[in-house]
Structure 1
Amino acid sequence: MSTVSLRTIPIARPDLGEEEAAAARRAILSGWITQGPEVAAFEDAFAAYVGAEHACAVSNCTAALHLALHALGVGPGDEVITVSHSFIATTNAIRYCGAVPVFVDIDPRTYNMDPSLIEREITARTRAILPVHQMGLPCEILPILEVAARHQLPVVEDAACAIGSEIRVRQDWERVGKPHGLVACFSFHPRKILTTGDGGMLTTDDPELDRKFRTLRQHGMSISDATRHAATSVVFEEYPELGFNYRMTDIQAAVGRVQLQRLPALLSRRAELAERYTTKIEGIQGLIPPHVPAHVRTNYQSYAVQVTDSYPVGRDQLMQRLLECGISTRRGIMNAHQEEAHKEIPHGGLAHSQFARDRVILLPLFAGMTTEEVDRVVEALTP
């Protein structure tokens, strides 16, 4: 296949346009740049979209995860059950609290936490369970919640990739972030479907927890900037506890409000492209397209294909071949326990996690992608 004059297909591309630019301009010219009215409006709209009582915007999803665990009292010597098979931020957030990540393996078909492995890892030091909705595919949250309830443990959902994804609860479809656990944490990084450049959000139905998030994200300040700005008499803030600088800017939030309005169309387009990929890849021996259980709906934040032994070349060779054809890809999701920063964390064997990292390839998928580009990728995948 000749790549002469063919444009490189990126792994992802943020879908931003004139509406987002106009929103950012509005915020810039308003004179209120950091956390203010745009952030508040974005939080309200986001909470309404996912079906949560409260939404608290922060600087990124790593901050959201750290804030959630910290607010729940997770500290030095505590344990948090999670997966190694996730972006390193999941494990980092636990260790920021001084706690110890306890890794369980994944389901080899969905690449999400295997609920059947959780209970055996619970000890007197366990303080929380932190599952991940990997690549936008909802994890088996209901069985995880059952285990958590038996042991009276809070569940913090790493929903970094999962905006717009849904779970069937009895006969109803509910969005990730409703939340189903105590807290759900989202990312607005440029690789995500909804982006604010960077940013994060915590959703919860617990008003006291939401109050803690709002205080802690702003250095533990006793009154907000908005309250101080609107005061008719002089007021002085206090700092009764150690907090963090985890605020979102109004410029970001203004962009996020537009992105949230456009989200249904972005999700629909990604689903169309993913269906085209799946239909064509199912006919290629040695490649396995994503498995989506009937009780969940994925947003296809990433399109993951497993390269088996029956494919003519290995995963890494395939990635190189695609790169030479002007097609960007990424390896399967990383494992924290295989990285230098966390290699000392003990684990009882994570065979499925390691297999997935080494055998999965992430293909280009973004709302602005054309069907012709999908077909070009498939052609390059075909032996």
Structure 2
Amino acid sequence: MLGRCVSEDGVGADTPWFGQEELDALAEVIASGWVGQGPRVARFEHEFAGLVEAPYAVATTTGDAAIHLALLVAGVRPGDDVVVPSLSAIGAANAVRSVAAMPVLTDVDPLTGNVTAATVEQAVTPRTTAIIVADHAGIPVDLQSIRDVADPLGIVVIEDVGCGVGATRLGRPTGGAAEIATWSFDSREPLAMGDGGMLTTSHAGWAARARGYRGIEGKFRLTDLHAAVGLVQLGRLPEIVQQRRRVADRYRAALVGVPGLRPADDPAWGTGNAVSFWLEVDEAYRLDRNRLLGDLTAAGIASTRGGTAIHRQAPYRAWTPPGGLPGTERFADRTLTLPVSRTLSAHDQDRIIALLHPDQSVRTGSETAIASGH
């Protein structure tokens, strides 16, 4: 799922939250002799479905494999159009092409990084049979408004939750209310298994079809080794999300008043999981986004661009709609991410906040005198 949730290097580098429990779980699987798809995969599916309040869950090798399966079980046929947000991992568009359908790249709201009912409606064609919506950076999309556009037309909405496990929408876990949703569990996600994915759905028939395709195509099968780690991670997830949101809230409180900086925030309809924390940099700030990114990197701070545009990548440049995708381009050109991982100390977060302030001198909520480095 490269590009959805990018790994970090430097201060606050994002590494999986693994401990002795994961080692013990792996040892138990190896000792059992059953390391392929088996009872732990079945248990992981059951427990994950319960976590996100989805009736059915089908584990896969990767998040991209889950999208591929979702397109198949939703009935997408060769030659159909599938709406895909350009501000997403290129794997979403590749999955559409892998079933011989045609991705129609759509714009996002630059204030949230997510598609809206309006941007989706503009991209729908008479041949559209599915819409993929992504919860960018773990911030939930306004799913119901998009369903209001799609449902009367008989178009299936696939929620690409990706790295959004632990986020909420209208008081429920994201993905649970979707007809069909896909998830990723690679090493960059809050729920990390090294690799892995999941398809969840409210339709028994779709779940059965997904299991059937998985049985035919061995490349879709998760192993018990991965599932054993996932089961431990399910228990850690509340603490992981709480820790990340605490770091994000601290950034937001310290930076919300800085001219030219706009920190990510929760939408009115839900809460993000702070898998990453993005910041928009506009003309009022003392540096442009790229120069600020360079300063952070030079200071040894893990930071990346806030998103990439599929329509700017070589395989899909010719798929850019007339007039371009201005919301996507603004988001891709103006945002960067700040580290939120458990390896980020309060002292290092203070140093990041100080570097971002115009006078590079500020006291955080902890009243640490970070301008002087003390």
The answer, yes or no, to whether TM exceeds 0.5 is: yes
Look up the SS of the partner of 1:245 in the other structure.
helix
What residue ranges of structure 1 are gaps of 5+ in the alignment? Answer: 1-6, 221-242
- The structural deviation recorded for 1:244 is 4.9
Cα distance in 1 for partners of 2:320, 2:268 equals 35
- The structural deviation recorded for 1:75 is 2.7
Matched residue, 2:370: none
Alignment check: 8 A CA contact 2:178 2:202 kept:
no
Cα distance in 2 for partners of 1:192, 1:108 equals 23
Which has the larger displacement, 51-60 or 101-110? 101-110
Alignment check: 8 A CA contact 1:20 1:255 kept:
yes
Is residue 379 of structure 1 aligned with residue 335 of structure 2?
Answer: no
284, 291, 311: which one aligns with 1:317 = 291
Runs ≥4 residues deviating over 3 A: none
Matched residue, 1:288: 262
- Alignment root-mean-square deviation, CA: 1.4
Look up the SS of the partner of 2:319 in the other structure.
coil
Matched residue, 1:251: 225
Matched residue, 1:167: 169
What residue ranges of structure 2 are gaps of 5+ in the alignment? Answer: 1-8, 359-374
Look up the SS of the partner of 1:26 in the other structure.
helix
Is residue 190 of structure 1 aligned with residue 192 of structure 2?
Answer: no
Look up the SS of the partner of 1:158 in the other structure.
strand
Is residue 88 of structure 1 aligned with residue 86 of structure 2?
Answer: no
Look up the SS of the partner of 1:377 in the other structure.
helix
CA 1:244/1:350 → structure 2, altered by over 3 Å: closer, same or farther?
farther
TM-score, scaled relative to structure 1: 0.88
Mapping of residues 138-153 of structure 1, within 5 Å: 138-153=140-155
- The structural deviation recorded for 1:117 is 2.6
Look up the SS of the partner of 1:328 in the other structure.
coil
166, 174, 177: which one aligns with 2:175 = 177
Cα distance in 2 for partners of 1:161, 1:264 equals 14
Matched residue, 1:16: 18
User: Residue type matched to 1:247 in 2?
Assistant: R
Cα distance in 2 for partners of 1:197, 1:33 equals 15
User: Residue type matched to 2:330 in 1?
Assistant: F
Please list the CA deviations of residues 350-369 of structure 1 after superposition, one character each: whole Å capped at 9, or x if unmatched.
Answer: 00101110110011111342
Is residue 337 of structure 1 aligned with residue 311 of structure 2?
Answer: yes
Look up the SS of the partner of 2:169 in the other structure.
strand
Alignment check: 8 A CA contact 2:86 2:106 kept:
yes
Please list the CA deviations of residues 6-48 of structure 1 after superposition, one character each: whole Å capped at 9, or x if unmatched.
Answer: x931442211111111111111111000110111111110000
Look up the SS of the partner of 1:257 in the other structure.
helix
Cα distance in 1 for partners of 2:263, 2:37 equals 41
Matched residue, 1:33: 35
Look up the SS of the partner of 2:156 in the other structure.
coil
- The structural deviation recorded for 1:204 is 0.7
Alignment check: 8 A CA contact 1:104 1:114 kept:
no
Is residue 302 of structure 1 aligned with residue 276 of structure 2?
Answer: yes
Cα distance in 1 for partners of 2:23, 2:353 equals 34
46, 63, 69: which one aligns with 1:61 = 63
Look up the SS of the partner of 1:131 in the other structure.
strand
User: Residue type matched to 1:351 in 2?
Assistant: P
TM-score, scaled relative to structure 2: 0.90
Look up the SS of the partner of 1:13 in the other structure.
coil
Percent of aligned pairs with the same amino acid: 36
Matched residue, 2:99: 97
